[in-house]
Amino acid sequence: MIIDELIKKIDEMGNPSVIGLDTAPDYLPNYEKVRDDAKALAESTIEFNARIIDKIKDIVPAVKVQIVYYEACGLLGMTVFSETMKFAKESGMIVIADAKRNDIGATAKQYAHAFTNGDFNRDFLTVNGYLGSDGIKPFLGKEDKGIFALVKTSNPSGGELQDLRLENGLTVYEQMAKLVSGWGADCIGASGYSNVGAVVGATYPSQAKDLRKLMPHTFFLVPGYGAQGGGADGAVAGFDENGKGGIVNSSRGIICAYKQEKYKGMSFADAAYAASVDMREDLVGALKRK
Amino acid sequence: MIIDELIKKIDEMGNPSVIGLDTAPDYLPNYEKVRDDAKALAESTIEFNARIIDKIKDIVPAVKVQIVYYEACGLLGMTVFSETMKFAKESGMIVIADAKRNDIGATAKQYAHAFTNGDFNRDFLTVNGYLGSDGIKPFLGKEDKGIFALVKTSNPSGGELQDLRLENGLTVYEQMAKLVSGWGADCIGASGYSNVGAVVGATYPSQAKDLRKLMPHTFFLVPGYGAQGGGADGAVAGFDENGKGGIVNSSRGIICAYKQEKYKGMSFADAAYAASVDMREDLVGALKRK
């Protein structure tokens, strides 16, 4: 099971973090030089991502590649998205494509195909379960592929729908948690966790704690740490009693670390490495306190 | 406002329908011949879509292009997606990109950019509002761009979450309807409808009727007619008392019409045209009965 592979890598590296390669053009140090040349911009982005991957691959188990930061640059951007995922995979990292896909059954089947073959192949894909089971089932059934379904998102307005309480006593996100847990029941690996994971934001630690009880076999992808304001203690709130069960994402905090006072004078890749080490220590510290 | 343009086209043509160019490779008449040659497959798909657009553009106001049928063919497929939208636009049709995008604010901003500029430019984009306002607001504010947000989807399992009743007495989809209606309040055109529309499936007519009352300024994109089992009466159930307020989608029913007994002997483009005429008559008849 792919979830077991991810957990094994996290254990080996002692690092439950994933770096988000959300490489917006203006994150590139040479942006001003290449901004008006689409091809040079694409090449610079591939190189930027590749140099960061090269630097962190031995201490960070996974990358999350957010598709739209590439889609926003059109067809050339999609090439960079594809190349980045391929390079990360070849470098031995676990690859999460962050695309939050969702559709009816027949169409979800196409999405599953798109992300299981060829140019957009990945290990995990983020999905949105608003359409229910028939939109999710096409993603299941392959031991080497997993999904993370949105449950409780990290953004301020996530609660507008997700926090509302249903007549059955559950909130909408808890109900979603039950659905997600059910979808993953048939693909639980030796680790005790399922290939069907959940997105649970670092910015809502008490909800994350409750969700851990509600979905004991569901691995959490935790966005919202760092730039979005979530601290390490909040980020690991949904981890289990053994300090496992989740992986915390940071994007801008790592790939734009070179812009921070703290990492001043370092190259972008060195700064990303240093920030990754700092993040690991931060999370490990929080897990010890937990 | 783009919604006014869409409604004007519907009125002029007397046809509240949109054709879904969900062109899976095996829908092509020459699929067996090109299946193993990615470039030939891509070229055949562009030609297939272009010939259908050429044929129907004077009687059908809009096309809906479902991104994943192209994404599933990788980078070359994305080129076909882009070319298809461009060709439809140049042919004078309104273009809906069906991608059901959703993310947190900063990322939604990138999506809005991706679909407002360059290769993936479109008139309308489908979105999923599970993340609340900050994930939707970046799509608003341009008079010539609109969105359709999922409210009540056409698939069998859509109700697993959407139909549950909240403590406040509304179902989840009714609550979503209220959110969607609010997002659209500041971009209502002369037609009385907003640039923020809703996806309301043809397969749930009584819910569509109730939603029409709940969101009087929200234009409906209605999937589920035809291949998914929704009839014409169900498809127009959410239209207003003037027989306006919605557009009904058919994909396989039109682009694969040449495979049906009814249109036997016709070319795929002629069959698509004939099926589009039949669909128009079917919807117009249902509106008269309404």
Q: Model-level pTM?
A: 0.97
Q: For residue A279, give every residue at least 6 positions away whose Cβ sits within 8 Å of its Cβ, in sequence order, or none.
A: A17, A225, A226, A248, A250, A253, A254
Catalytic residue among A8, A89, A100, A244: A100
B69-88 residue pLDDT tens: 999 999 999 999 999 999 99
Amino acid A230: pLDDT = 81
The full set of domains in chain B, from first to last, is 2-289 (3.20.20.70)
Q: Per the structure block, which two tokens stand in for A148?
A: 């993370």
Q: Answer yes or no: do B75 and A71 touch at CB < 8 A.
A: no
Residue A256's pLDDT band, with cuts at 50, 70 and 90, is very high
For A133, nearest residue in chain B (alpha carbons): B157
Helix extents (H) in chain B? 2-13, 31-34, 38-56, 68-71, 74-90, 105-114, 159-162, 172-183, 205-214, 232-235, 252-255, 268-289
Is pLDDT above 90 for A6?
Answer: yes
Q: Is B182 on the interface with A (CB under 8 A)?
A: no
Residue A184: exposed, middle, or buried by beta-carbon count in 10 A (0-12, 13-18, 19+)? buried
Which residue of B131, B175, B221 is the best one to mutate when testing the A interface, meaning the one whose CB has the most A CBs within 10 A? B131
* Residue A39 bears catalytic tag: no
Our CA-based measurement puts residue B245 at a distance from the nearest CA of chain A, in whole angstroms, of 23
Hunting for tokens 């039950």 — which residue is that?
A: A178
3-class SS of residue B264 = coil
Cβ-contact B70, B108 below 8 angstroms: no
User: Which chain A residues have a beta carbon less than 8 Å from that of B165?
Assistant: 166-167
Which of B89, B100, B137, B209 does the annotation list as catalytic?
A: B100
The answer to whether the CB of A287 falls within 8 A of the CB of A258 is no
Q: Is B79 on the interface with A (CB under 8 A)?
A: yes
Angle, to 10 degrees, between the axis of helix B38-56 and the axis of helix B74-90?
A: 20
Stretch A208-225: mean pLDDT: 97
What torsion do the CA atoms of A63, A64, A67, A70 make, to the nearest 10 degrees? -40
Sign of the four-CA dihedral B37, B43, B45, B48: negative
User: What average pLDDT does range B189-212 have in this prediction?
Assistant: 97
Reported as type and span, the H/E element at residue A74 is helix A74-90
Residue B290 pLDDT more than 90? no
Q: Using 50, 70 and 90 to split pLDDT, how confident is the model at A229?
A: confident
| Among the listed residues A143, A141, A139, the one whose alpha carbon sits nearest the alpha carbon of residue A100 | A139
Provide the pLDDT confidence category of residue B117 given band limits of 50, 70 and 90. Answer: confident
Are B251 and B225 in contact by the 8 Å Cβ rule? The answer is: no
Around Cβ A59, how many Cβ atoms within 10 Å? 14
The pLDDT assigned to A226 comes to 84
The residue-averaged pLDDT of B255-284 equals: 98
pLDDT (average), residues B31-37:
95
Q: Which residues of A touch B150 (CB under 8 A)?
A: 102, 130-131
Cα separation, A84 vs A66, whole angstroms: 11
pLDDT tens digits along A21-49: 999 999 999 999 999 999 999 999 999 99
Residue B97 contacts residue B120 (beta carbons within 8 Å) = yes
Q: Taking CB atoms and an 8 Å limit, are A179 and B161 in contact across chains?
A: yes
Chain A residues with CB under 8 Å of B74 CB are: 82, 114, 117-120
Region A159-178: mean pLDDT is 98
> Would an 8 Å CB–CB cutoff place A15 in contact with chain B?
no
User: Pseudo-torsion of CA A43, A45, A51, A52, nearest 10°?
Assistant: -170
Q: In Å, how far is B172's CA from the nearest CA of chain A?
A: 8
Q: Which residue of A has its CA nearest to B116?
A: A72
- Given CB atoms, is A82 within the 8 Å cutoff of chain B? yes
